[in-house]
């Protein structure tokens, strides 16, 4: 089945120790997104790739970076995780229909990050 895969599902890191979360998709969608979701809060968009074009949200901290080496894979790098970065990180994909904002996003299962 076509899907969005995130690894690992659970990640524990230490304060200040860089961590990378990965996302892959078999849907062949051209847009990939990274969201941060804290407990009982709405998912918050960090950035997205439209094909190879990187689009950062204005309020995304510099501590968060992303890479998309090819259509299928996208990585989220947290350079120096703080306690406040503990959250669920959701990857999503969509296929552009030509109608901005109208594209259904398909989410991966998420990576729950714990910062000690």
Partner 1 sequence: GQNIDQPTEMTATEGAIVQINCTYQTSGFNGLFWYQQHAGEAPTFLSYNVLDGLEEKGRFSSFLSRSKGYSYLLLKELQMKDSASYLCAVSRDKLIFGTGTRLQVFP
Q: Give the residues lining the site for partner 1 (CB under 8 A).
A: 4, 40-45, 48, 88, 90, 99-102, 104-110, 112
Give the nearer residue to partner 1 in terms of CB position, either 41 or 80. 41
Report the alpha-carbon distance of residue 74 to residue 54 in Å, rounded: 11
Give the nearer residue to partner 1 in terms of CB position, either 86 or 109. 109
Give the nearer residue to partner 1 in terms of CB position, either 42 or 83. 42
* Shortest CB 16 distance to partner 1, Å: 26
* Shortest CB 90 distance to partner 1, Å: 6
Give the nearer residue to partner 1 in terms of CB position, either 2 or 17. 2
Reported for 61-70, long-range contacts at CB under 8 A and 24+ positions apart, including other chains, are: 64/34, 66/34, 68/32
* Shortest CB 17 distance to partner 1, Å: 24
Query: 60: exposed, middle or buried (C-beta count within 10 Å: 0-12, 13-18, 19+)?
Result: middle
């Amino acid at each position: 089945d076509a899907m969005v895969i995130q690894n690992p599902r659970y990640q524990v890191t230490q304060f200040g120790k860089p961590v990378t979360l990965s996302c892959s998709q078999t849907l062949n969608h051209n847009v990939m997104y990274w969201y941060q979701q804290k407990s009982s809060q709405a998912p918050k968009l960090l950035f997205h790739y439209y094909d190879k074009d990187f689009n950062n949200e204005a309020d995304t901290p510099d501590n968060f970076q992303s890479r998309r080496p090819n259509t299928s894979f996208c990585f989220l790098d947290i350079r120096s995780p703080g306690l406040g970065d503990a959250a669920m990180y959701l990857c999503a994909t969509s296929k552009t229909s030509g109608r901005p904002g109208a594209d259904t996003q398909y989410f991966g299962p998420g990576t729950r990050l714990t910062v000690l």
